[in-house]
Amino acid sequence: MTTDTTQEQECVFCSIIAGDLPSDTVYRDDQVIAIKDNNPQAPIHVLIITREHNLESLNDASRLDASLLGHALYTAAKVANQMGIAESGYRVVVNTGEKAGQSVPHLHLHVLGGRNLAWPPG
């Protein structure tokens, strides 16, 4: 999806990145920010959010985005380590589209841990 100013203005993650909405930020760099999910589904639930709004979901990714996607995944591992769940185990989830329950159309990864995570997921 192409970048649209109105979309960005209405996007909760863009508002957080712009500093217009509060968040509990645990990591930031020039490509992503990591914040605590405000409706946590596990004792540790962090979102790795790409700074730009240009990708609404994985479906919008092209080959040119491979580096950003790799960086987001690497950041998930780094944040899991920072949050103390790397050794016990954690799950990285990217809900994509309606049937997967994606509720915010701005690319993000969930990092979940701190409890036993059932498989298969619901």
Q: By CB under 6 A, name the binding residues for ligand AMP.
A: 12, 21, 23, 35, 37-39, 47, 95, 101-104
Q: Per rule CB under 5 A, is residue 109 in the interface with Zn ion?
A: no
3 state SS of 35 = strand
Assess whether 106 carries a catalytic annotation: no
Say which entry of Zn ion, ligand AMP, none residue 103 contacts (CB below 5 to 8 A, set by partner kind). ligand AMP
Structure tokens at 9: 């203005």
Q: Per rule CB under 5 A, is residue 45 in the interface with Zn ion?
A: no
Say which entry of Zn ion, ligand AMP, none residue 39 contacts (CB below 5 to 8 A, set by partner kind). ligand AMP
Residue 94: partners with Cβ closer than 8 Å, 6 or more residues away: 58, 107, 108, 109, 110
How far is it, in rounded angstroms, from Cα 53 to Cα 86?
29
Single-letter amino acid code for the residue at 45 = H
Chain residues in the site for Zn ion (CB under 5 A) = 11, 13-14, 53, 106
